[in-house]
Amino acid sequence: MPGIVDALAIARAEFERRLTAITDDDWGRPTPCTQWTVRQLVNHIVSHEYRYADTLATNDSEYYVASRDDDFLGDDPHGSWPRGVALLDEAIAGLDSLDTTISFLLPLPARDVLLVRVFEAAVHTWDVSRAIGFDERIDERLAMLTYPLLERLIQVPATQAFFAPPQDTLPSTATPQDRLLHLAGRKP
């Protein structure tokens, strides 16, 4: 199983494959996140690099919450991504330890905050893939790594605005990807 920083690199690489595949005609397409077009969803994914960077660097989630609807893509949707990645990498490097407690949606070790980031990147990459007709596979290692944390977080009332528990069950034979997508409220 990859470590958290390696898992983040895998999730980012998977998203970047989709980002480079998006055409001008794709930006307005609907996504499984019914409130967002492809552009709005990509903005959300890219924004996390900036917003998580700020949260890790300041140990305060105020900006993370306040900037949820900001436009991080501007006129350069492809260029905003590597800038955000660099900021988050810098914030990770600035941590004393991945065990440092971070004031996120609730206090969590930095490693768990990054696991949430990996989860969001993996699931939203699937959303983009579905919207543009791209390969929908999520790296199984990401699903297996993030699922246990998210299964715990959906039980915490403070996080239920972000992670609502699923209302149905999956068969015991469900793949790690299907379990993760189900936990995220998706119907693969």
Burial of 178 per CB tally in 10 Å (0-12, 13-18, 19+): middle
Give pLDDT tens digits for 119-143.
999 999 999 999 999 999 999 999 8
Q: Which fold has domain 4-183?
A: Four Helix Bundle (Hemerythrin (Met), subunit A) (1.20.120)
| Mean local confidence (pLDDT), 56-63 | 95
- pLDDT score, position 164: 57
> Domain residue spans in the chain?
4-183
Global pTM value: 0.90
Pick the closest to residue 19 from 127, 95, 108 (CA basis): 127
Q: Is residue 173 packed enough to be buried (19+ CB in 10 Å), middle (13-18) or exposed (0-12)?
A: exposed
pLDDT at residue 167, as a whole number: 65
Name the residue with tokens 């949430």.
Answer: 116
Cα–Cα distance, 77 to 85 (Å, whole number) = 13
Find all residues with CB under 8 Å of 171, minimum gap 6, and list them. Answer: none
pLDDT computed for residue 37 by the predictor:
97
Select the more confidently predicted residue: 168 or 133: 133
Residue 8 CA to residue 118 CA, distance in Å, equals 5
- The predicted pLDDT at position 163 comes to 57
Residue 100's pLDDT band (cuts 50, 70, 90): very high
Higher pLDDT, 150 or 177: 177
Q: What is the pLDDT of residues 26-41, one digit of tens each?
A: 999 999 988 999 999 9
At 182 the pLDDT is: 83
Q: What is the 3-state secondary structure (H, E, C) of 19-79?
A: HHHCCCCCCCCECCCCCCEHHHHHHHHHHHHHHHHHHHHHCCCHHHHHCCCCCCCCCCHHH
Q: How far apart are CA 29 and CA 128, in angstroms?
A: 10
Q: What is the model's pLDDT at position 158?
A: 56
For residue 83, what pLDDT band results from cuts at 50, 70 and 90? very high
Axis crossing angle, helix 140-153 with helix 110-132, rounded to the nearest 10: 120
Give CA 180 to chain center in angstroms: 12
* Nearest Cα to Cα of residue 28 among 41, 19, 36, 37: 37
The answer on pLDDT for 153 being more than 60 is yes
% of the chain beyond a pLDDT of 90:
68
Nearest-angstrom CA–CA distance, 105 and 90: 21
Confidence at 157, pLDDT banded by 50, 70, 90: low
